Structure 1
């Protein structure tokens, strides 16, 4: 880091002087030896491609550019700015594999140039793990994005289940990244309503000439404000849950819902209360805490969780609840 700081000081010195800077001035201003100065020159020239040359006539060093100025890539980034760029670059690589060959490769190269070698070397210290990701072919992803930004209607075949494939014509509104998977929020012209489509279930996309109908941003935002998870709806119910103390590390500091109400009892039990519109995703999340959570309300959610637990026990040939809590 000290060497980098001195290299930065040399860079500023070359920009500060209107004329080539002599070796004597550089050694004095940087308070360094001739050998250290030589290493700084090599660092700037080799690692940052800085065009520093020796002007024989003026007997000094300068930048060999038209205006005598040069910008060091990445050097001016703060740690927080460099972290943001590093994370963005990592997400570009991992969120949707395969897009590097479809236009993002040059963008990633430009980010790398901006970061410079001193920050690029830190990229391996960041890791993005996508667990449970549903595969979306790159050749499918790009046409969807193009239709979204071109504001054109889209036709595709949607595989809602293994045995059901229906043609849909939609007006794309938003592309959503949720729990490591891509979803398309669109106005379905057949249903005359907003619908959410998993990209992994879309095939044969075709952009149409018809202009997409626009929905208000407030309507799109409101679709997910109250519901739980990716499933939206307007008919809300209140989930009331009570978790055992053993589940506290995985429940206490987690935001289940933006309107949740959490209470910690003297015994260590945690009570959670929040609204939901569709119970499917909520039931799956609660099954992770089988044996450590009690659904106290509403009865429909309690029954759904009990039925799912019984089905799981039956699948394993177990007639009685002998399941060990997950966190134990």
Structure 2
């Protein structure tokens, strides 16, 4: 596995890391199997979060089985205040069952107001710096889906890493990644296949890792075969050929910008609709020539886009500011034809 320096942390991390969102859906036995497979295939960097259900706990079981010395562990919290972040750091340590967390990140700082709050004297950053001085964490990072937030953050000198979406359909962070490299700040790439919207996973990961400003990319993986396939890319990293680049850029162009990344932050829906699943099934209906299959699955759901009352409670939670109500109306119309 190719190793890359994670900025000023000086951690030599695997170019492909383990993204901890989907592991929350498996049981303890499967979680241990996934962490073992990650180690066997060269991964040494794990990224999780307080907000990912049982992810920290399940990863903790895997760390115990494989040896703490084999891992760089990153987690994150959406806490914005000093007291809330201080509490979450201790919870993360307990859930992961480790003494020190290598990288603790402020999670999804989306707005100027949130950024000003975390950076204030009573904000989350103070708790993180205190925990670092106490040896509870080693380095501090920040994640966002808002480019302007990171453009400010990298200039403060407070952060060892940044984390942002990057893939062939979302290349807008290339400038900030270059600036981060100049400032010796590590770059962690989330959403490497746009939440599953990009079908050609290998080409997308190769596209990302061609960028030498990227430290590590963290696809979410809940199957051993996904781990083997994704690590194989970094174990034999080759630049895209002209033909391969054309394939992945054509796919990116077809996706456009108004699509769901399946992060799940829109939940819960007051009507009980699984919002991301609506868009997945719509793609099968309209793009992948699986009309009968998609309609059968859609009609088998208890709640669908037909039940959307356009309350809008989901939209402020979407990190991509998608017009979910408009998109749900489109899904309903497509499945009514």
With normalisation by structure 2, the TM-score equals: 0.22
Bigger Rg, which one: 1
Q: Larger % of strand: which?
A: 1
User: Normalization by structure 1: what TM-score?
Assistant: 0.23
Name the structure where helix makes up a greater proportion of residues: 2
